Structure 1
Amino acid sequence: MLRIFDIIFSFTVIMLTSPLMLLAAILVRTKFGSPIIFKQDRAGLNGEVFQIYKFRSMTDERDAAGNLLPDEKRLTKFGRFLRATSIDELPGFLNVLWGDMSVVGPRPQHASFLEFYSKRQMMRHYVKPGITGWAQVNGRNSIGWDDRFELDVWYVENKSFWLDMKIIFLTMVIVLRREGISAAGHATMPEFRGSQLTVPQND
């Protein structure tokens, strides 16, 4: 997507949703405490690592040994609402303004996934990652990693401004319908450790 469009679109979204983001920040602080923003290393263009920003949607509850409880135990009703409405993703538009991400592109995954991608799957890093993408409007978290990454590669091979416009429109429809939020049996998606081999993760 054109950089100028990314800047204009993300700036507009931030301005229009700033009251909502302020309210979300206050509620996150009240319900979860600090920090308000969840930060995590993700792989971007050409596999370069950057920090993604999202509103925190989980507690930091731990077991007797000090280990974080599973995602489904820490994801509260309020956290599920943030994810279902995609309000938790709004701080990501700052990543777009700063140039780490685009409005449309393959969703940035955890940096640790890089060593497990096949050569074809690595093609998803030929473009900047996006707030939304082709995989997000074709199943989101309800489809497996292999299918999801194949959709990402298809996007890279067929990238165009008009395809991006279509994805943005479909994203708005999906957000309103709250579709594909979680994978079966997980709070979001299982962690990727190579094709057909997955274990639970934090997203």
Structure 2
Amino acid sequence: MDRLKHRPGFYEKYIKRPQDFCCALLAIIVLSPVMAIVAAMVRLKLGSPVIFKQERPGLNEEIFTLYKFRTMTDKKDKDGNLLPDEERLTRFGKILRSTSLDELPELFNILNGDMAVVGPRPLLVRYLPLYNEHQARRHEVRPGFTGYAQVNGRNSISWEEKFDMDVEYVEHVTFLGDWKIILQTVKTVLKREGISSESSVTMEEFKGTTSKVGEI
């Protein structure tokens, strides 16, 4: 039996998007000096381009361009292939990631309407065919700058746990819930929790879920 599609409530229909726009605009104004400094440091230490751009799936799996500050070099092996993340991620890049400063350009994605302040994080396009029916529900809302999974383990939890939390958020989008996640995000960033998984400097590649747990 097909699962019922997410139905936005009053908050999601009429408040969440205007609230996101105002929060992003205010954050850009307040943090513009910080973003300018980070941009200058990225240019100095990593070169150009300063902004990393990558296509990601958003609401209803529609593709948009995500903006982040660059954190890795373009070092390649003798065959012209990019080296593994751990070899391209510099000490400076690790600092940007641990403080989440690399994600500040995503505020412009929020202004554009591609993202929300809170929602499932936008992942790679190549993961789309790997989701099971349950996991694919994460695309029934706009992806977020932060999310339920990001304040409950971030990259230190498994993909399956992360996706379960994403879907749990989809089923319970509320004003108080969003602001609780925003406040928890500040705490998580300050404590630099869950930045890496147990075996990777970022997060391992998602290769699909063999178990059908969570599907109906």
Tell me, in whole angstroms, the C-alpha distance in 2 between the residues paired with 1:71 and 1:175. 21
**Which residue is 1:59 aligned to?**
73
What are the within-5 Å matches in structure 2 for residues 157-168 of structure 1? 157-168=171-182
> Which residue of 2 is the match for residue 136 of structure 1?
150
Correspondence for 2:116: 102
> What's the C-alpha RMSD, in Å, of the aligned pairs?
1.1
Q: 2:138 aligns with which of 106, 115, 124?
A: 124
2:38, 2:53 → 1: CA distance?
16
Question: TM-score, normalised on structure 2?
Answer: 0.89
One-letter amino acid of the counterpart of residue 87, structure 2: K
Q: What is the number of residues matched between the two proteins?
A: 197
Task: Give the deviation of 1:196 after TM superposition.
Answer: 5.9
Q: TM-score normalized by structure 1?
A: 0.95
Shift of 1:154: 0.4
Q: Tell me, what secondary structure is at the counterpart of 1:38?
A: strand
Residue 186 (structure 2) aligns with: 172
Structure 2: distance between partners of 1:9 and 1:3: 10
Alpha-carbon separation, structure 1, partners of 2:180 and 2:158:
23
| Stretches of structure 1 lacking an aligned partner (at least 5 in a row) | 198-203
Stretches of structure 2 lacking an aligned partner (at least 5 in a row): 1-11, 212-216
Runs of 4 or more, structure 1, over 3 Å off, are none
Aligned AA for 2:182? I
Residue aligning to 1:14: 28
Show CA shifts across 1:40-61 (max 9, x none).
1111000111110000000010
- Give the superposition deviation at 1:193: 1.7
